Structure 1
Amino acid sequence: MENLQIPDQIKELIGDEPYYIDDIGKSESQVILFSDKVLKIQEVSDESVKEIQVLTWLEDKLSVPEVLVSQVEGSTHYLLMSKIGGNMACDDIYMANPEKLVKALATALRQLWNVDLFSFKPMMTLAKKLEIAEYNVLNGKVDMADTQPATFGANGFEDPHALLRWLVANQPDEELVFSHGDMSLPNVFFKDDHVSGFIDLGLAGVSDKWQDIAIVYRSLVNNFAGVYGGKTYAGFKPEMLFEALDMTPDWDKLRYYILLDELF
């Protein structure tokens, strides 16, 4: 912490509290965890600004972190929030019981989709997401090494430009709901098998419900296969998620939104 330039207002609130650095997840932000608070340090962006708006709007609708201090200094955004209780959905306690995990995730998804969209402004419809994806492609912000193995290469797309062209040409119909935007397992917390909260909502907005399903599905497959950390878990079958949701899987939409996320 001594090497970080923390704004004085935040220093006053964290004092000399013990902390540790969060190294779970794929965020480019630096996340510092205290006993009851979280400090997120990241480059100023539309996403970092929108996260404040989303958290403020959701404070009486879903369990999300409370914004304690949001401060910009130069090109750096410092966000001090309350800490969500419970454990990440990728914690061993849940990964060891896939049936219980998918049921809890289905409940979390329904909580998101049941949020009343009245007065909510941020739109993350497919048109908006493709606009952001195009910006990322044209500005070299897509890391091809940080994608699913089959996305690019001999049996995939030649490059992000080719993937973007395919996404534009194959847009599916949308079932609009309130969407988390990055519904991977580290961004959902459970306590006593109940949803205790959601984090990392910078991509949240009105979007197709299959956006959330696709990211949950990919995250489940990757986590059970040991893609993150190397530890594998037994017992997960893809159909379990859709049985918990009481939905028929739309594999075309799942593939589409997983591919779209490669450009973010």
Structure 2
Amino acid sequence: MTDADRDDARPTVPPSLAAAVAGYAWARDTIGASGGAVFRLHGKAGAPNLYLKHGRDAVADAITEEAARLNWLAAHLPVPAVVKFRRTPHEAFLLMTALPGRTAYQVLVAEPDARPDVIDALAAFLRRLHAIPVSDCPFVAGHAQRLAVARARIDAGLVDVGDFDEERQGWTAEDVWDGLQALLPLAADPVVTHGDFSLDNLIVEGGEVVGCIDVGRAGIADRYQDLAILWNCLHEFGPALQDRLFQSYGIARPDRRKLRFHLMLDELF
């Protein structure tokens, strides 16, 4: 048993959340986690399953950003509903409803024959997201903003070079930075993006995408911010499905320069 599995790994929730989490069994969850700790709350008779995110300091800031985006996105897309949110000077607690279904990754692994239909469903959901009017979105997440954050992460030594994709194994963070600069400037094509549109963050049930999670990076950015991450996730399932993603989304000739740029940028987060 790891520390993450033990009861004492649970955070001490503030009084304002105590009643909402009472009576639940807790299980540590790592799918879709983007820093901090995520717990699945389940097993309470007559009550829906919930998720609790908890983090301190910089992670608390990220959870605060996610809570704001969940509240805004709820009017446009199926996302977890915020049940309770509590922020203290050093901690954040975000209690959310659980979406029904499995992650897109789980479905692709378990149901090989359904893979083309799943890709079509993912592309349809992405089109729906990208169709949200940019003028309605209060969050900016374009590559200029992300490059500034990436530079700060490099300077602080926060980039995990051991987690780089295979084609960039052996690179330093500065190598990635230099590669990004060589691909600039990029023609802007702003839409409302998820920011981390990966197979683990998309929930599927009955052959449809019923929602997305981990929306803390959502905001106005180039559409390839989402396309590149999803395209890269599909690598292990073969180039035919990668090609189908763009065909189903409605792009006949993918912009390889933008793909390279956004995949390199993602290495720094």
Give runs of aligned pairs for residues 91-240 of structure 1, distance below 5 A: 91-92=106-107, 96=112, 97-153=114-170, 157=171, 159-171=172-184, 172-222=186-236, 224=237, 237-240=241-244
Task: Establish whether residue 71 from structure 1 lines up as the match of residue 86 from structure 2.
Answer: yes
Q: CA deviation at 1:2?
A: 4.0
Which among 35, 40, 47 is matched to residue 28 of structure 1?
Answer: 35
Please give the per-residue CA displacement for 1:121-150, whole angstroms capped at 9, x wherever unaligned.
211111111111111111111001111122
Three-state SS of the structure 2 residue aligned to 1:102 is helix
Q: CA deviation at 1:236?
A: 5.0
Contact 2:55 2:92 in 1 (8 A): yes
How big is the alpha-carbon RMSD for the aligned residues of Structure 1 and Structure 2?
2.0
Distance 1:54 1:143 in 2: 26
Q: 1:196–1:54: structure 2 CA closer, same or farther, 3 Å change rule?
A: same
Tell me the matched-pair count: 250
Q: CA deviation at 1:92?
A: 3.5
Q: 1:199–1:110: structure 2 CA closer, same or farther, 3 Å change rule?
A: same
Structure 2 unaligned regions, length at least 5: 1-6, 43-48
Aligned structure 1 segments of 4 or more residues deviating by more than 6 angstroms? none
Distance 1:206 1:189 in 2: 22
Distance 1:17 1:62 in 2: 28
One-letter amino acid of the structure 2 residue matched with residue 34 of structure 1: L
Please give the per-residue CA displacement for 1:97-125, whole angstroms capped at 9, x wherever unaligned.
22011101101111110112224221111
Which among 55, 66, 69 is matched to residue 51 of structure 1?
Answer: 66
Answer with 236-245 or 176-185: which moved more: 236-245
Match of 1:242 in 2: 246
Task: Establish whether residue 17 from structure 1 lines up as the match of residue 31 from structure 2.
Answer: no
Please give the per-residue CA displacement for 1:39-58, whole angstroms capped at 9, x wherever unaligned.
01123434322212211111
Which among 251, 257, 260 is matched to residue 252 of structure 1?
Answer: 257
**TM-score, scaled relative to structure 1:** 0.87
Answer with 14-23 or 180-189: which moved more: 14-23
Question: Which protein is richer in helix relative to its size?
Answer: 2
Distance 1:114 1:163 in 2: 31
Q: 1:246–1:120: structure 2 CA closer, same or farther, 3 Å change rule?
A: closer
Three-state SS of the structure 1 residue aligned to 2:30 is coil
Task: Establish whether residue 90 from structure 1 lines up as the match of residue 105 from structure 2.
Answer: yes
Contact 1:130 1:168 in 2 (8 A): no
Contact 2:54 2:63 in 1 (8 A): no
Three-state SS of the structure 1 residue aligned to 2:134 is coil
Match of 1:262 in 2: 267
Three-state SS of the structure 2 residue aligned to 1:123 is coil
Identity of aligned residues (%): 28
Three-state SS of the structure 1 residue aligned to 2:87 is strand
Structure 1 unaligned regions, length at least 5: 225-233
One-letter amino acid of the structure 1 residue matched with residue 86 of structure 2: Q
Distance 2:231 2:56 in 1: 29
